Amino acid sequence: MDTTHLTKFYKKNHDDKIDSLFLAGVISKKEKDRLLDRTLELDPETGSHMIENYIGNYSMPLGVAMNYMIDKEELVVPMAIEEPSVIAASSFAAKIIGSAGGFKTTVIHRMMIGQVTLKNVPDIEEATNNVAEAKQEILSRANEAYPSIVKRGGGAKNLDVRLLEDDTDSGIPSYLSVHIHVDTQEAMGANIVNTMMEGIAPYIEELTGGTALLRILTNYATECLATSKCVIPAHKLKTQDFSGEEVRDRIIEATQVATIDPYRAVTHNKGIMNGVDAVVLASGNDWRAIEAGVHAYASRSGQYRSLTSWSKNEAGDLVGELTLPLPVGTVGGSISFHPAAKLAHSIMGHPKAHKLERVIVSVGLAQNFAAVRALVTEGIQKGHMGLHARSLAISAGAKGDHVQQVADILKHSKHKNLQRAKNILLNILEEFEK
């Protein structure tokens, strides 16, 4: 990638942005033409095969975050999001972190977990022993239910049994849950795992004497974790009003608050998900699955807490770390035929699933850094309202150059609301007609 074409990307007009992505080697000529011809839309035939009662497409802006350096590799990151300021904040944070060596990531393993959950198990101990003894046979049957994933090098690899204890206070009886650990290779694997669970359920019933109530993967993907870390020298954090050390300490303190206070933690983590969801969505992955798993992971201690940790090292640098469960795929679902998802994968250089995880977790860390840094210094509204002003201008009916004109006046207005935007637009139009 030749990043010289991408400098001051945000200042270029729409067509020049696309051209510079082409010149930098991020997109192909064909992709450039598709973007310029605005033909990234789903066609109605594909749409009606994807969902039931299809009536049209719901458009979401697709943008790119700049300046990412992940494991020493420069990357442009596609993001699908309707909220202003997220991509600007992402690129800003990535620039600071990139100038300090960038993100260093780890992905230990990529395993999905399927559950066969049984009710009315007559003898829990006997059932548990029977399942443990039949482990190889259960795994073989799971693999027979989805042989192609075995041919691809994956498949069911391990199992364990969990007793879900009864809760006499609420009258809930005990259940037994058999967990199968599945390597789904490049796929997120929901359908692969679900097929396996349905395939082995009758045999598990035979072994346990219970009735299989549920046969599906869990979205709590605790064996599909990705971590990103960054180290930022304090001097890079300096603002007009605060020294670098003050900003560093305030970021650490703000994260302490999000670690002990769920009210703050939810908002802190929402900021992380601004970035995570945008890449998950752009890459055609199931963002509901990621959202559900991430928030469960934030509660793993028994209390909902900050997902990031920020601390200082001996040199006084700010050290950030984020770990997320990220069961994303590079195949499966609509990834291989959704035109915008295909483009997103191409922009990232067709990453393997583990690399896509590394990108997403790094974006989450950057997004958190940008949000907390802004919060503990000038406040979030300065940057946010500046960009939000454009949305208000569009809502007020501004078109073409008038959008920026209305936004510029609105930015300096005391009241930044829709009515004010409408009044500003009216004044501009009246001036225009004079």
Residues assigned a catalytic role? 83, 270, 286, 384
Is residue 225 helix, strand or coil?
Answer: strand
CB neighbours (10 Å) of residue 223? 18
**388, two tokens:** 């939000």
113 binds ligand NDP (CB under 6 A): no
- Nearer CB in complex with ligand NDP: 192/366: 192
351 binds ligand NDP (CB under 6 A): no
- Cβ within 8 Å of residue 258, ≥6 positions away: 264, 265, 267, 268, 269, 305, 306
Write out the binding residues for ligand NDP, residues 210-229 only, by CB under 6 A. 217, 219
Quote the least distance from Cβ 326 to ligand NDP, whole Å. 13
How many residues of this chain interact with ligand NDP, rule: CB under 6 A?
A: 21
Quote the least distance from Cβ 338 to ligand NDP, whole Å. 11
Quote the least distance from Cβ 291 to ligand NDP, whole Å. 11
Instruction: Give the one residue of 1, 296, 331, 385 binding ligand NDP; rule: CB under 6 A.
Output: 331
Instruction: Give the one residue of 233, 333, 386, 397 binding ligand NDP; rule: CB under 6 A.
Output: 333
Q: Quote the DSSP letter at residue 6.
A: G
Label the pairing between strands 155-164 and 225-232: unpaired
Concatenated DSSP letters of 162-189: EEE--BGGGTB--EEEEEEEEE-TTB--
- Nearer CB in complex with ligand NDP: 81/149: 149
295 binds ligand NDP (CB under 6 A): no
Quote the least distance from Cβ 294 to ligand NDP, whole Å. 13
Residue in this structure with the two tokens 């509901």, named with its chain if needed: 288
Instruction: Give the one residue of 329, 341, 354, 389 binding ligand NDP; rule: CB under 6 A.
Output: 329
- Nearer CB in complex with ligand NDP: 209/333: 333
- Nearer CB in complex with ligand NDP: 164/331: 331
| Cα–Cα dist 357/16, whole Å | 30
**DSSP H helical segments within 117-243, as ranges?**
124-133, 135-145, 147-151, 190-208
Write out the binding residues for ligand NDP, residues 146-205 only, by CB under 6 A. 148-149, 152, 184-192, 194
| Cα–Cα dist 264/278, whole Å | 22
Quote the least distance from Cβ 108 to ligand NDP, whole Å. 19
Question: Which range of residues in 4-12, 30-38, 63-71, 326-334 is near ligand NDP by CB under 6 A?
Answer: 326-334
- Nearer CB in complex with ligand NDP: 85/184: 184
Quote the least distance from Cβ 146 to ligand NDP, whole Å. 7
The sign of the torsion formed by the CA atoms of 169, 171, 176, 179 equals negative
Sketch the per residue contact string, 265 through 294, with ligand NDP: x for CB under 6 A, - otherwise. ---------------------x--x-----
- Nearer CB in complex with ligand NDP: 161/328: 328
- Nearer CB in complex with ligand NDP: 274/285: 285
Question: What order do you get walking across the sheet with 308-312 strand by strand?
Answer: 104-107, 225-232, 318-325, 308-312
| Cα–Cα dist 121/292, whole Å | 29
Helix (H) or strand (E) run with residue 112 in it: strand 112-119
Quote the least distance from Cβ 284 to ligand NDP, whole Å. 9
Which pairs with CB-CB distance under 8 Å and at least 24 residues apart come from 401-409? 402/428, 402/429
> What is the binding site for ligand NDP (CB under 6 A)?
148-149, 152, 184-192, 194, 217, 219, 286, 289, 329, 331-333
